Amino acid sequence: MSQLSPSEKRGLLILLGIILIGFVIQWLQPYVVKNDLYDYTVQDSIFKAISADTSLNLAAGYQVEKTSILSEKSKFKKVPKKALGPHSIHINSANQTELEKLPRIGPATAKNILEYRAINGRFKSIDELVKVKRIGPKTLETIKPFLTLE
């Protein structure tokens, strides 16, 4: 084995000293995890409160309980739509609240139906609802049993 020069010895001693200090610090300092470091409950409750105001949640039948925006207790609950009988909604005379009782029809879609009816006149067939924005074949099949033209 070759002899180490004084500068090499000094470098090794510094390196060993740094490693030793690191081990001592790890041994003396307990491992602590801050639990509140990633606490997003305030942001989550604000998001839920703001999201409750969108027509998407209202159309799906969701309501938010009345609580403070910064409260953690802001929860959504499903509000069931009232049961409809077959052919209970007259499509040519129904108002917005009656149209919103239909499954998969929210305030925006009900408004679109009323606007279409105002522009184009009375519906000649129930299948004509497909021409209304936000109503496709699946939605039409869902609401068709509850609608009548007369």
CATH code at position 94: 1.10.150.320
In this structure, the answer to whether residues 67 and 96 fall within a common structural domain is no
pLDDT value of position 20:
94
CA–CA gap between residue 147 and residue 7 (Å, rounded):
94
> What value does the CA radius of gyration of the chain take, rounded to a whole number of Å?
33
In this structure, the answer to whether residues 94 and 143 fall within a common structural domain is yes
pLDDT in tens, the chain (150 residues): 468 899 999 999 999 999 999 988 887 776 666 666 667 788 888 888 777 655 444 444 555 444 444 444 445 444 555 677 888 899 999 999 999 999 999 999 999 999 999 999 999 999 999 999 999 999 999 999 999 987
The domain in which residue 13 lies consists of: 1-31
Tell me the torsion sign for CA atoms 134, 138, 144, 145. Answer: negative
Reported in sequence order, the residue ranges of the chain that DSSP labels E, i.e. its strands, are 62-64, 76-78, 89-90, 147-148
Q: Which residue has the tokens 């020069």?
A: 5
pTM of the model: 0.47
In this structure, the answer to whether residues 3 and 24 fall within a common structural domain is yes
- Whether residue 98 is contained in a domain is answered as yes
pLDDT value of position 33:
60
The total number of structural domains that make up the chain: 3
- Whether residue 141 is contained in a domain is answered as yes
CA–CA gap between residue 48 and residue 123 (Å, rounded):
39
CA–CA gap between residue 86 and residue 89 (Å, rounded):
8
pLDDT value of position 26:
82
- Whether residue 84 is contained in a domain is answered as no
